[in-house]
Structure 1
Amino acid sequence: MEKWQDPQVIAFWIAIIIVFIVTLLFFVVKILHAGYKRMTEANLRETQLLLDHQKKLLETNLYAQEKERMRVAGDLHDSLIGKLVVVKMKSQIGVTLTELDTMLEESITEARRISHDLTPPLLGYSRIDELIEDILAPWRDKFEMNYKKDVTNSQDLPSEAKIQVIRVVQELIVNINKHAQAKAVSVHLRYSDRYFTLAVKDNGKGFDTSLLKKGLGLSNMELRMQYLNASHKVKSVPGKGTTTIIATIINPPL
């Protein structure tokens, strides 16, 4: 009988093969476990970063809401109530009805402005292009305003989305007024069955975008972009103005 046919030899080699296979399986399982562990840890880190980011945005949103309440309270106290106090004093010392009527009209106008800032009138009945035009109208005395709209979608945005877009436009125009030293502002709205894009451009002093910091305004913008499922980009060159572009795909619709 050949040596390799010896049952003890065969058993020995079978044992070696079994040990080899078991060892190989052990290392394969170890490698797969280590890879799974690394992937799980990476996913946990990513999830934690996302949660931290969402927490930061929530804190920013709450701070912005509180700041807005304080601004409205300040407007009511310093502007509207101040005008009404003057009306009361004037009526007590005796003035003409014409003068009182003028002061009351100013107070009514101020109350309307504050109410308009809180929630634009007829929000659910006006299309987004009309609301943007309404927001831009008071700034035409300050800037050379160019508003171009290309609306081919017969469906309007939901009211919740419209208020977010309006707040973005308001914030951009206010920032231009505060910081840009611009003379002209161009707003281009495109709303088709597939895309919603909004570009706001000024001819102000511009800035170096590499130095852009995520302050309250930018965090608010990012929060609104998340709500709209949109993206935004800020392009600026010192001395050549700033352009902010907002874009989203209308599928599913906003």
Structure 2
Amino acid sequence: MPGHFTNRSAGKVSRRGLVFLLTLLCALVGPLAGGREARAFDVELRSPFAPCRADCTATLFAGQLVETSMWEIFLTKHQGPWDWRWGSSTFVGGAFSREVVRFDRFASIETEVGVGKRFGSLHEGEGWGALYFRWKWFPWDEYLRTTVGISIGLNYATGVPAFESRRAGVEGQNLLHYLSPELTFGLPSRPDLDLIFRFHHRSGGDLPFFNRAGGGVQYGTVGLRYRW
């Protein structure tokens, strides 16, 4: 019956929402329950020109073109990679990053510069500079180190393919915003290595100084990160 189906769906949504809220609560409040030492919270500024102290990273990653919009993936339809529309282009990129602000063991701000090349149906090069805001503390870190990061920055492409102009609905441009969320995972025994999953994405965000371009070229990528 329609009414019965609606109630069951609402129940599922409520349970999912409760699980999400409880997980978020554990992640944010959990450290405060760890005693006096865990409650100490320090903000440390780090010079980008000082010798590296386990705060420098080099990352190599590669992936395939994603034609499903970021809006659908993360906001409206919450689609997993198995539901994405994949294109016929691949991307290989590399980046150097440096942690410049550390909020104790919980979070950090990093600078990043990177370059990459498209292959297949697209062939342009890319370069970008960005700030990454990263949350680094989760209750299961002693078993699997986990971080979540999101960037704000600029991405320059050597050309504007017809694919990008069609998606934007306006004439595209070389310089766009760089918004690339990522997840990282690593073993506690290897703090120098991480497996990363990055949604490499450039777009104009419908902003006037980006010619009101919407979604741009984007890739679902996987890679390795080395820290020293």
TM-score, length of structure 2 as denominator length: 0.32
TM-score, length of structure 1 as denominator length: 0.29
Higher helix share: 1
> Which protein shows a greater Rg?
1
Higher strand share: 2
- Larger relative contact order (CA 8 Å, sep ≥ 6): 2
